[in-house]
Structure 1
């Protein structure tokens, strides 16, 4: 009898399952994994418009003109208002440091950062080139993402549950046990897109043939689940 118990425990260790042999709470747990791989379907880009002038008002006016030019360009690319938003707007005094004198304000810098969501990935390169021509000074980072990861996560979860249930049926037959109802469920998810960083100062592609080439790549979403059954 002792030999049979030890052999069973080794079998369970190999299949990543766990059995609780307490007389009143006999249970067995099964793990399952599901993975879904999908191409990114949106690009998220952060861009900055930086202007400097002798007065705060002039710096703001210049920034507003460039911002309008950029937004007008984006709308011509059929990007909706809901996919264009301002993340930050800052005004910084600029200082000069005369010899043997206290620092003096010599002008002002305005820095406006916007986030843009691009839904047609084939147009990313051309849009990056165009926004620089329209007045953008910096493209701070670019990431390719899945716009609705919850749908893919749900698909991965279904696969993981099916995987765990398959293991349960196999082990039930191999050990000759009779499984009851599922009394506990838990899950963990992973696999999120990694940003691709890209920066431009004073131009990206210089108005050349089509702008920079930017690969979007694939994203993987994985879900691990754990099902705990009663043993009848």
Structure 2
């Protein structure tokens, strides 16, 4: 992700305060298909005994991991994202009564072939997974795409400046005296919890990643 700090580049020595300038904002935007997906999926188990809930959760988690490895997911691409054990209570006459325990083990699965996402959900559900959270579409290397968007933004700023200069019949210099870069890439949607049942893995439609570069440029005339 790019930050929002402003970077200034001087293409020639700063001009005298009396120099007349045209200031414009240029923008370049690319729509890129992701090449990496991070799936957050896991197992939730409940039992009157914390030990039994933990044992059942571990059994299902191991089965899920082994099944994912059989379809090509590497061990190093499966990471625990969270693990919790907490009690569950019922209330009788305003009195809390311990009803059992819930164990939840969530995993982040890095998928380097986006076409496999549906198969991964299907395999995970068939082997013990019953809850999923966020799905992140990413680029393994965002920089080449951002640099292309940045070049488009500079070109867009120059075109705007020349339109203004031509309209006002001003002798605009071809090279800007200053360029300020302000950039951003993309924002993920808020995580959404999906409860999964066997045989009900959802079809996944690939989302495009929007990469945008913005520059502020000043041209002398």
Indicate whether the TM-score tops 0.5: yes
Answer yes or no: is the 8 Å Cα contact 1:192–1:221 preserved in 2. Answer: no
Q: Pick one of 42, 47, 52 that aligns with 1:48.
A: 42
Query: Structure 1: how far apart are the matches of 2:48 and 2:24?
Result: 69
What SS does the aligned partner of 2:194 have? coil
Matched, 1:155 2:148: yes
Separation in 1, partners of 2:176, 2:139 = 36
CA gap 1:191/1:228 in 2 versus in 1, 3 angstroms: same
Q: Determine helix, strand or coil for the equivalent of 1:144.
A: strand
Pair 1:182–1:53, CA change in 2 (3 A): same
1:7-54 deviation digits (Å, cap 9, x = unpaired) = xxxxxxxxxxxxxxx962433223222121221222222113111223
Q: 1:181 to 1:118 in 2, by over 3 A?
A: closer
Distance in 2 (CA, whole Å) between partners of 1:102 and 1:179 is 79
Report the CA distance between 1:186 and its aligned residue.
2.7
Query: 110-119 or 135-144: which moved more?
Result: 135-144
Q: CA deviation at 1:216?
A: 0.7
Which structure has more relative contact order (CA 8 Å, sep 6+)? It is: 2
Residue 125 of structure 1: how far off its partner (Å): 1.2
Q: Which has the higher helix share?
A: 1
Could you list the runs of 5+ residues in structure 2 that have no partner in the other structure? 1-15
46, 52, 63: which is aligned to 2:57? 63
User: Whole-Å Cα distance in 2 between the matches of residues 145 and 139 of structure 1?
Assistant: 18
TM-score (normalised: structure 1): 0.73
Q: TM-score normalized by structure 2? A: 0.77
Q: Aligned partners of 1:31 and 1:181: how far apart in 2? A: 12
Q: 1:214 to 1:179 in 2, by over 3 A?
A: closer
From the CA coordinates, give the structure whose radius of gyration is larger: 1
Paired residue secondary structure (1:175): coil
1:103 is paired with a residue of what secondary structure?
Answer: strand
Task: Tell me if structure 1 keeps the 8 A contact 2:172–2:220.
Answer: no
